[in-house]
């Protein structure tokens, strides 16, 4: 009888472990979309919502991008992959002297930055990255010193700019260049853009690279297309590939 009880207990424990492993595998392979309703509620709750933008800043509100892509991350050889939701939200809200832009690729992957608008263009002063896998991760927020020029006011093909700065214990260098002009159709309207390539190298606890291609609209002060390739190495690794296309020129407010 005792052997049978131990056998039953062992089966129950094994079933629990299998169930937990299946839950981890399934939850790690999925991304939770951010609905427009949720993004609008978040935007409306922020200080400055509804204010007119500064010259050189995008119109405040919630923009939607059609999205494709995938992510993979984990610890050592244990890696989990997941696809991105079909839509990403881009929340623009005014802050003193500029604006904050939050890109919600999913509930598990949020990127945000604050920009100061000056005569040169958009100067990045603060950044946030929230990435979680199976509920485990970090919501990292850092000020940038010295604040780098992220995008000139009116970039033109052949122009390049570089920056070297720190975000806490991270050392970051960026090399950016405008390569050509292109017209992109957004919701039936042709939008003149400048294609900008940005290569970022981060050294420190979360070392890695990030390569971006932006179809930048100077008149809108935002990208109408945005391709992102991010590779973070170390004991905990993370790779993300995203291709975003703006669906409407007018934000929801």
Closest CA to 123 of 83, 82, 163: 163
> How much is the pLDDT for 14?
32
> How much is the pLDDT for 135?
73
- Considering the chain, what is the average pLDDT of its residues? 88
23-78: pLDDT as tens digits: 343 344 579 999 999 999 999 999 877 788 888 999 999 999 999 999 999 877 77
For residue 155, pLDDT beyond 70:
yes
pTM of the model: 0.86
For residue 4, pLDDT beyond 60:
no
Distance, CA of 232 to CA of 235 (rounded, Å): 10
225-251: pLDDT as tens digits: 999 999 988 777 899 999 999 999 999
Q: How many helices (H) and strands (E) does the chain have?
A: 2, 14
215-227: pLDDT as tens digits: 999 999 999 999 9
108-148: pLDDT as tens digits: 999 999 999 999 999 999 999 999 987 778 899 999 999 99
Domain boundaries, the chain: 29-246
> How much is the pLDDT for 180?
98
> How much is the pLDDT for 50?
75
> How much is the pLDDT for 29?
58
Distance, CA of 146 to CA of 125 (rounded, Å): 8
Closest CA to 241 of 69, 72, 31, 81: 69
7: enclosing H helix or E strand: helix 2-28
> How much is the pLDDT for 129?
94
> How much is the pLDDT for 131?
92
> How much is the pLDDT for 78?
79
Residues in Cβ contact with 35 at an 8 Å cutoff, skipping those fewer than 6 apart? none
Distance, CA of 108 to CA of 20 (rounded, Å): 20
């Amino acid at each position: 009888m005792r052997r049978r009880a131990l056998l039953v207990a062992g089966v129950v424990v094994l079933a629990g472990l299998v169930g937990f492993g299946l839950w981890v595998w399934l939850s790690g392979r999925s991304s939770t979309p951010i609905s427009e309703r949720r993004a609008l509620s978040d935007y409306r709750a922020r200080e400055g919502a509804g204010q007119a933008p500064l010259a050189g800043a995008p119109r405040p509100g919630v923009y939607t991008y059609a999205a494709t892509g995938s992510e993979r991350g984990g610890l050592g050889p244990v890696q989990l992959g997941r696809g991105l939701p079909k839509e990403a939200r881009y929340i623009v809200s005014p802050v003193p002297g500029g604006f904050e832009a939050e890109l919600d690729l999913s509930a598990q992957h949020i990127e945000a930055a604050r920009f100061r608008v000056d005569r040169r263009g958009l100067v990045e002063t603060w950044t946030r990255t929230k990435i979680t896998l199976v509920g485990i991760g970090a919501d990292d927020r850092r000020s940038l010193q010295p604040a780098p020029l992220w995008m000139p006011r009116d970039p033109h093909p052949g122009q390049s700019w570089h920056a070297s700065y720190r975000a806490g214990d991270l050392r970051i260098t960026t090399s950016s260049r405008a390569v050509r002009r292109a017209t992109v159709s957004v919701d039936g309207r042709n939008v003149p853009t400048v294609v900008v390539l940005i290569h970022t190298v981060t050294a420190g606890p979360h070392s890695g690279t990030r390569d971006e291609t932006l179809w930048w609209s100077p008149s809108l002060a935002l990208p109408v297309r945005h391709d992102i390739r991010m590779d973070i190495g170390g004991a905990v690794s993370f790779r993300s590939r995203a291709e975003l296309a703006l669906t409407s020129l007018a934000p929801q407010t």
